[in-house]
Structure 1
């Protein structure tokens, strides 16, 4: 006898009334995520190293949205014990975390051979180890409060080798593959895993990634205008992508087309193209 019961369909994830954690929240894309999420979510957990900036952002949002619960966590995510303390605090507070945005990251501009090991180690620790560890620590909460979402902030640099930012690009290639695999694993648990891959954006990224003040050239001078996307557009596109369950989100149409082309290009041709520019 056939059952008349409709097949089970999970409730779609919504930003409204969500509890969101944002790493690297004190500036750039992180603070923009906080500003765009604030009107909809119930709670924001803002994580960053720079306490003064975090405080100013929290005050700004609280003035605009008095009912919004805002938690400030001044943490250096490069230290495993700090990551563990953060996760323990979330579980002890019984916060219904159902949106995790792994935004914190670091870059370095210059050839690999001339970089300091301490700098390269920072990149590997923050972009790979910290992101993976925090995801592992907080995934139980995302599952328990499904439907939920996990957004990793990668880069278009993760699609191909990037001479001049070799370690940074390699770290973002890891984030890309990690996100794709995790997305498949977590679908059955109601956790949407998406990867945001922005191109150049006028944030502090290039200032921090530069090795000297003389090298601090803004994003608007590093790439053609058509490749540059404002932080507001990057974040708006990312949040829309989460709601649409997109696996990979590239918030620039031209770059999106180029990435599709590069994925289809034989690698030996790509290597030749990159070698000419090195």
Structure 2
């Protein structure tokens, strides 16, 4: 039976990855800082699907957090066949008016922890000539995002980094995917402190996390470098930079996101 390690597994897309992978008889290593939610999920999935789950309660914004996770996996004698780097968060508002510490923690979680975990677990997959890594990016990684500037930049990094590793590993037997969802049912908007009007209603319909995860697993199986989930509108968004000058595009995005603030 294969084993998947999922970060940010206590809610949203991460929790749904756990549920969908458990349903196809995949053992799980669940990582999050939310102890109660993790253990509740682990017990539920073990009882329902007769799989084995391990829980690692860890805040990945802390120094040496990823090394700690890796060492726990080694101590337990586990082999990670699939790494899902899902943990991440955003922040809405004018850059200079938002807390610097939150921006730095965002970079630590969305970029640094993801790179470190990939660097720790990828060599073992390469040695076994099998495995997969799903890095959760965003449709926001395809163009700058005024008023969500640091978040958009982190997801642009994840997209570029993942596609580069996909190309490097074409002959290694390891599949690497950048998952690029649009607005999805989760607590993202609340944690990012978006105005209440931005919960999907005034922007676009929220995709279900289950749809996103199913699309991701299918794309990984096909060895795609990235997958954009959430329907036709998201395809238009990610391809708009091919047809519009960047200044026009980023100005239009700025206008859209600024209107959320003014309507709050």
- TM normalised by structure 2 equals 0.91
Change (3 A) 1:73 1:272: closer
How far apart are 1:134 and its partner, in Å?
1.1
What are the ranges of 5 or more consecutive residues in structure 1 without an aligned counterpart?
1-16
1:169 deviation in Å? 0.4
Count of paired positions: 256
2:84 equivalent in structure 1: 101
Say whether the 8 Å CA contact 1:159–1:263 is kept in structure 2: no
Conserved? CA contact 2:145–2:254, under 8 Å = no
Aligned equivalents of 1:206, 1:139: Cα separation in 2? 31
Tell me which residue corresponds to 1:4.
none
Q: Helix, strand or coil: the match of 2:133?
A: strand
In the alignment, is residue 269 of structure 1 matched against residue 253 of structure 2? no
Task: State the alpha-carbon separation in 2 of the partners of residues 218 and 72 from structure 1.
Answer: 33
- The answer to whether the 8 A contact 1:77-1:130 is kept is yes
Task: Measure, in 2, the Cα distance between the counterparts of 1:27 and 1:139.
Answer: 25
Does 2:217 correspond to 1:233? no
SS at match of 1:196: strand
Instruction: Tell me which of 188, 195, 205 is aligned to 2:178.
Output: 195
Q: Is the 8 A contact 1:155 1:198 kept in 2?
A: yes
The alignment's C-alpha RMSD in Å is 1.7
Kindly state the Cα deviation for residue 43 of structure 1 after the two structures are TM-superposed: 1.4
| Deviation digits for residues 25-55 of structure 1 (CA, Å, limit 9, x no counterpart) | 0000000000000022441000000000001
Normalised by the size of structure 1, how large is the TM-score? 0.87
The structure having more radius of gyration, on CA atoms, is: 1
Q: Which residue of 1 aligns with 2:44?
A: 60
| C-alpha distance in 2 between matches for 1:148 and 1:252 | 26
| Residues in 2 aligned to 1:219 and 1:193: alpha-carbon distance in whole angstroms | 30
Counterpart-to-counterpart distance in 2, 1:258 and 1:275: 14
Structure 2's unaligned 5+ residue stretches are 259-264
- Find out whether 1:21 has 2:5 as its counterpart: yes
Q: Deviations over 1:190-218 (max 9, x none)?
A: 1111011111112111111117xxx3456
Distance change >3 Å, CA 269–CA 32, structure 1 → 2? same
Q: Which residue number in structure 2 is paired with residue 247 of structure 1?
A: 225
For residue 261 of structure 2, what is the aligned residue in structure 1?
none
Alignment of 1:31 with 2:9, yes or no, is: no
Please tell me whether the aligned partners of residues 183 and 204 of structure 2 are also in contact (alpha carbons under 8 angstroms).
no
